[in-house]
Structure 1
Amino acid sequence: MNNFRNPKKKSVCFLPLGGTGEIGMNCYLYHYDGKWLIVDLGVTFSDQNIPNADIILPDLQFIIERKNDIVGMILTHAHEDHIGGVPYLYENLGSVPIYTTPFTASVLKRKFTKQNQPNISTLKYNTNYNLGPFNIEILALTHSIPEPNAILIKTSEINIFHSGDWKIDPLPIVGNPIDKTKIEKIKKETINALICDSTNIFNVTPSGSEQEVRQTLDEVFRKHKQGKIIVTCFASNIARLETIGFVSKKYNRSCIFLGRSLKRIYEAALENNYLNTVPKFLNQDDGKLIPDENTVLVCTGSQGESRAALYKLVFGMNPNFSLNEKDLVIFSSREIPGNEKQITKIKNKILRSGANFIDDKFPKIHVSGHPSQEELEKMYKWVNPELLIPIHGEFSHLFEHIKFAKRKGIKKTLLVENGDLVQLDKDRPSIIETVKYGRKIIIGNKMFSKTDRVIQNLKNSNINNSVQIVFIINNSDDLVVKPVIFANTIIDDQDITENEKLHKKISKVFYECHSTGITDELLKNSLKSKVRSVILKDYGIRPLTSIRIVRI
């Protein structure tokens, strides 16, 4: 067990294990009367120091060692940086009860198999819940996804307002408006601590409304009369999907999904009576015969991800659609720092194809889901907290949020990073200890610690997690010999290169993909996808896969 003294039983404590000093991977713990409450359990997707990582999770060893004292986990909303870690770590936490609203529950359930569903209870507004020594109430906010919630956490010692992710959108397209009246009422009970989103602290003006994006997309669609319109956005932005559906209908276009995550979110939305006012979105097979001038492709991959639908479309790997000079690609999203290179690669390819694009430099093609300084100041007035602790930001965001709060009259502030155990004393809140924290890395379906030898090898570039397969074929398009496999992966390479069963499976894949008249380029693209699926199923990894076809 960690070298750590448990807090005094009646101490109210706050402990972030992810999400402070970084954007993403949110995970926050609250302690009182010997019990622990978890708020959110998210992931992040990129770390320049860990190449080939699919997903990065917070290391929860601290709370896993205390899992018998966990009273529950509350999920504020359905974004991956708040719920994405649950499927990977749920069993390690002792299958704790999860509390959230219906839409988030629907999204989360789709991350588990039907046989292994989590224990989820749905929360209602204007209702109090007792979770051990914590009294809980959720309050409706607005964000870029349905049902974002703040949490009012009451103990017999103090009251805490945990904001979650939020903005002020006076006329949200989807979901409830912000419950300003309810939020203003709670300050009568004295809010001792506000734990608050810092993402947009450097923005002075309001974040903007989804209604403004609707007006912008309407104008863009109106002017683009020929060719396909391709829109890429964050899959979870249901309001954006509703707008795309609304505007597409207005200009006699049908919406077609490209990307599995979009389909899952769409199904969860319909299940909760969202998106039921726009025409049904189609899958690729149903939409591939629609004329270009009546087509809108809605794609995953706004951040340049090489496995996402937009990348495959732009680089000619989609079997049903391709770009041409009449097409327009709309990036209805912002560039997340660190992804510029991948996104630029896609934009260059779009232009080379003769198509065009517009991105977040175009006014109101995207609006943020996080509060600006103006919105933060309003929240301070509504809640009137005695103490502010900024979260959900890099160190610079947290530091600036502290400065801003002081300028606006917040008397007590505390700058906290991951691992800092904060005692929320009414008079003198302070960091009393730093606990062990860190990251877990998912590659394929395997989990590693940053100190594992495999991860160290990846960081030192001794392993690039790649597989190359050479198919040697004759004039009759038959394999002359079994596929030749070269591997440089996180597992024993001989286990891949000399595995007879794997060779047989890959040979079978070759004949499944091959058809009379198929070009080598199309064959390679088809083989690449199928071979990666075989390796993932057998070995639990997603290597960079290259295919070479040699004709003799």
Structure 2
Amino acid sequence: MNLTLYGHRDRWIAVDCGMMIRQDLPGAPLQVPDLTPIDTLGIAPEALVITHGHEDHIGAAAWLWPQWGCPIHATPLAAGLLHSKFAERGLRTDAIHVIEPGEAIEVGYFALRYLPLTHSIPESCALLIQAGERRILHTGDWKLDPAPLLGAPIDPDTYRAIAPVDLVVGDSTCAPEPGHSRSESEVALALESAIAPLTGRVVVSCFASNLDRVLAIARAADRCGRRISLMGRSMERMVRIAQGLGYLEDFPPLVPVRDLGYLPAEEVLVIATGSQGEPRAALSRLAAGRHPHFELMTGDSVIFSARAIPGNERLIERLKHALRLTGVTLLDDIQRPGLHASGHPYQDELRTFYEWVSPHRLLPVHGEARHQKAHQAIAREMSIEAPLTPRNGDLIRLDDQGLQLERHYRLTPHIIDQDKIAPVVGAEGDSSTRHGQLFLAISVAATEQGWTRIGRLMLDDSHTSPLDEASLADRLDECLETAQGDSLADLRAILYPDLMAWLADHLHRVPDVHFQIFAVETQAVMEK
């Protein structure tokens, strides 16, 4: 999830306001940013500026914005999605202001320009932020797609014209990946090639927010003589809002799911949510035979056109097993890599982009520590200063001496619980007798042998008795060797009691524990 604050002469703006799904907690609740340090410092953003419409950039706005009440600036699609979210919560929408890509605005001491770039959702923009004599390029999420299905490719001259910039705050998500990411146009061809020889009904699952992919699937279906239906509320909402803004103009006419039974099997294609194995999503309901109007059977095919988000691997495998029991044929990007493309820049794209904008410094964000370090290495290779790999809660200063970490603020995880924002309960039961607080996070990867811990413990025990980190890590590794959970929530439920028991054995006073499990890509196991 993303929320960045920029301050100059005691005036502040916020960039993006996203959420994440806590896969390691029961019910997979939404986690939103902790505003406690902002409130403590007396920071009140004068505007919320949105780079694009993905949930990890806008998903918390309807929950946190009421504490600010400031203007919100967003491009048309992101603004439309925010309107929908605000309306659902009964919030006024007059604070949402539409900004076209390429336009400029002024907020307090800040001058901002929206610079269009390509990503997996239209109207994604980098922000050129000028405050005093400093010029910062906040990239948001991006890639260099030479042939996007929606919108135009990046114009190199737009970015060459702003060079040099003092600082790039840049996307690190695919920094370890060599070469260049695949174009969405290539995925469109791969989808058509995969669908064309299939004879039964076809279900293709992807992220609802990846509108380029949704359009590619629809066009492929149309060329293969198939009619289209949508399955999943988020898919229906995204397509409806995009069409209302003039996108997807050549999207084929939709057939209601309840009417698909009247069509020959070879003429049916469904675009469905649920590629991550979410139990309540459309694809899981199909696998379980719980959809009222559509039942999978032998001869049908299911195509996964999305990568597995780390931590979801076992849920996805369980879903695929259930689908195989229905007799369907499965296709995914493991068998056919062309069925998916990342929306983030690989190494060659990063180098090309930095040749355009000539940054003096880089702050690598958006990714795990290994992604940030890979991004940092590319910067140093290009003689770009990159002294920091920031963490959530860091307060960083940019001045004539460069980038400096002024202070780190400890953040308490907050989730949406019964329609309210609440801190995650660290210890079970009454924590009033606990002594101090301990924040512990671990990164794990799903392998064929089970769960494997990656990297060091992320530990903050400054408010409790000192811990033997090596001994604690060894104990967690022992528990992981026998842990049988399919999901991060299962895994946390297994590890938490043992963690508390270990603390009781090794500390005179047991603290209130905030324990979080992050998933990383299985590839990290090989790198380890």
Amino acid at match of 2:144: I
- Listed as ranges, the matches of 1:83-232 within 5 Å are 83-93=58-68, 95-113=69-87, 115-118=90-93, 119-187=95-163, 190-224=164-198, 226-232=199-205
**CA 1:52–1:384: 2 relative to 1, 3 Å:** same
Give me the whole-angstrom Cα distance separating, in 1, the residues matched to 2:338 and 2:325.
Answer: 26
Partner of 1:475: none
Superimposed CA distance per residue, residues 453-499 of structure 1 (whole angstroms, 9 cap, x where no aligned partner) = 67999xxxxxxxxxxxxxxxxxxxxxxxxxxxxxxxxxxxxxxxxxx
SS in structure 1 of the partner of residue 123 of structure 2 = coil
SS in structure 1 of the partner of residue 5 of structure 2 = strand
Partner of 1:43: 19
Amino acid at match of 2:284: Y
Structure 2: stretches of 5+ with no match in the other structure = 432-528
SS in structure 2 of the partner of residue 159 of structure 1 = strand
Q: Does 1:69 pair with 2:37?
A: no
**CA 1:155–1:281: 2 relative to 1, 3 Å:** same
**CA 1:307–1:419: 2 relative to 1, 3 Å:** same
Shift in Å at residue 414 of structure 1? 2.0
Give me the whole-angstrom Cα distance separating, in 2, the residues matched to 1:443 and 1:314.
Answer: 29
Shift in Å at residue 437 of structure 1? 2.2
Give me the whole-angstrom Cα distance separating, in 2, the residues matched to 1:43 and 1:308.
Answer: 19
**Residues 192 and 426, structure 1, Cα contact 8 Å, conserved in 2:** no
Give me the whole-angstrom Cα distance separating, in 2, the residues matched to 1:206 and 1:331.
Answer: 22
- Listed as ranges, the matches of 1:464-479 within 5 Å are none
Match of 1:52 among 27, 41, 46: 27
**Residues 299 and 327, structure 2, Cα contact 8 Å, conserved in 1:** yes
**CA 1:78–1:52: 2 relative to 1, 3 Å:** same
Amino acid at match of 1:405: A
Shift in Å at residue 68 of structure 1? 6.9
Give me the whole-angstrom Cα distance separating, in 2, the residues matched to 1:29 and 1:236.
Answer: 25
Match of 1:364 among 338, 342, 347: 338
Give me the whole-angstrom Cα distance separating, in 1, the residues matched to 2:102 and 2:376.
Answer: 31
**Residues 12 and 43, structure 2, Cα contact 8 Å, conserved in 1:** no
Superimposed CA distance per residue, residues 385-411 of structure 1 (whole angstroms, 9 cap, x where no aligned partner) = 111000001111112211221112213
SS in structure 1 of the partner of residue 212 of structure 2 = helix
**Residues 75 and 82, structure 1, Cα contact 8 Å, conserved in 2:** yes
SS in structure 2 of the partner of residue 411 of structure 1 = coil
Match of 1:261 among 224, 228, 234: 234
**Residues 448 and 455, structure 1, Cα contact 8 Å, conserved in 2:** no
Superimposed CA distance per residue, residues 208-253 of structure 1 (whole angstroms, 9 cap, x where no aligned partner) = 10110111111111111x2110000010111111111111111221
**Residues 258 and 294, structure 2, Cα contact 8 Å, conserved in 1:** no
Q: Does 1:413 pair with 2:374?
A: no
Amino acid at match of 2:184: E
- Listed as ranges, the matches of 1:311-350 within 5 Å are 311-350=284-323
**CA 1:407–1:358: 2 relative to 1, 3 Å:** same
Give me the whole-angstrom Cα distance separating, in 1, the residues matched to 2:32 and 2:47.
Answer: 19
Partner of 2:219: 246
**Residues 145 and 236, structure 1, Cα contact 8 Å, conserved in 2:** yes
Bigger relative contact order (CA 8 A; separation at least 6):
1
**Residues 233 and 332, structure 1, Cα contact 8 Å, conserved in 2:** yes
Give me the whole-angstrom Cα distance separating, in 1, the residues matched to 2:177 and 2:227.
Answer: 36
- Listed as ranges, the matches of 1:284-295 within 5 Å are 284-295=257-268
Normalised by the size of structure 1, how large is the TM-score? 0.75
Shift in Å at residue 274 of structure 1? 0.8
**Residues 173 and 211, structure 1, Cα contact 8 Å, conserved in 2:** yes
- 435-444 vs 346-355, greater mean Cα deviation: 435-444
Shift in Å at residue 77 of structure 1? 0.5
Shift in Å at residue 346 of structure 1? 0.9
Give me the whole-angstrom Cα distance separating, in 2, the residues matched to 1:456 and 1:265.
Answer: 42
**CA 1:452–1:279: 2 relative to 1, 3 Å:** same
Partner of 1:283: 256
Identical columns (%): 36
Q: Does 1:297 pair with 2:270?
A: yes
User: Displaced runs of 4+ in structure 1, greater than 4 A?
Assistant: 64-68, 452-457
Shift in Å at residue 40 of structure 1? 0.6
Q: CA RMSD in A?
A: 1.8
Give me the whole-angstrom Cα distance separating, in 2, the residues matched to 1:141 and 1:348.
Answer: 39
- 147-156 vs 238-247, greater mean Cα deviation: 238-247
Normalised by the size of structure 2, how large is the TM-score? 0.78
**CA 1:85–1:51: 2 relative to 1, 3 Å:** same
| Structure with max Cα Rg | 1
Partner of 1:537: none
SS in structure 1 of the partner of residue 337 of structure 2 = coil
Give me the whole-angstrom Cα distance separating, in 1, the residues matched to 2:201 and 2:141.
Answer: 34
Give me the whole-angstrom Cα distance separating, in 1, the residues matched to 2:424 and 2:275.
Answer: 28
Partner of 2:247: 274
Amino acid at match of 2:229: I
Shift in Å at residue 286 of structure 1? 4.1
SS in structure 2 of the partner of residue 113 of structure 1 = helix
**CA 1:96–1:286: 2 relative to 1, 3 Å:** farther
**Residues 413 and 424, structure 2, Cα contact 8 Å, conserved in 1:** yes
**Residues 53 and 441, structure 1, Cα contact 8 Å, conserved in 2:** no
Shift in Å at residue 288 of structure 1? 4.1
**Residues 135 and 166, structure 2, Cα contact 8 Å, conserved in 1:** yes
Superimposed CA distance per residue, residues 318-359 of structure 1 (whole angstroms, 9 cap, x where no aligned partner) = 011111111110000001110011100111111111111111
**CA 1:247–1:158: 2 relative to 1, 3 Å:** same
Partner of 1:424: 398
Partner of 1:377: 351
Give me the whole-angstrom Cα distance separating, in 2, the residues matched to 1:286 and 1:92.
Answer: 46
Amino acid at match of 2:234: S
Give me the whole-angstrom Cα distance separating, in 1, the residues matched to 2:23 and 2:215.
Answer: 32
